[in-house]
Copies of this chain bind each other. A is one copy, B any other.
Amino acid sequence: MAYRRTDQVSARLAQTRRQILNSAREIISELGFSGAQMSDVAQRSGVATGTLYRYFANKEELCRQVFREVSTREMNMLATIASSDAPPEERLAKVLRTFAGRAIQGRRLAYALLAEPVDVGLAEERSRFRRTHAEIFAGILEEGVASGAFRLCDVRLSAACMAGAIPTVLIGSLAPDAEALETDAERIVDEIVAFCFSGVSHPDTRTFQTREERAAS
Q: What is A's interface to B at a CB cutoff of 8 Å?
A: 87, 89-90, 93, 116-119, 123, 126-127, 130-131, 134, 147-150, 153-154, 156-169, 172-176, 186-188, 190-211
Residues of B within 8 A of A160 (CB): 165, 168-169, 174-175
Query: What number of copies of this chain does the assembly contain?
Result: 2
In this complex, the member of A118, A123, A194 whose beta carbon has the largest number of chain B beta carbons within 10 angstroms is A194
**Contact partner, A211, options B117, B148, B153, Cβ 8 Å:** B148
Q: Which residue of B lies closest to A153 (CB)?
A: B191
B164 touches A195 (CB 8 A): no
Q: How far is the CA of A191 from the CA of B207 in the complex (A)?
A: 11
Residues of B within 8 A of A131 (CB): 173-174
B169 touches A211 (CB 8 A): no
Also in contact, A191 and B148, with CB within 8 A (given A117-B119, A211-B186)? no
**Contact partner, A169, options B126, B148, B164, Cβ 8 Å:** B164
Q: Which residue of B lies closest to A89 (CB)?
A: B207
User: Least Cβ distance of A26 to chain B in Å?
Assistant: 23
Q: How far is the CA of A197 from the CA of B184 in the complex (A)?
A: 24
B201 touches A208 (CB 8 A): yes
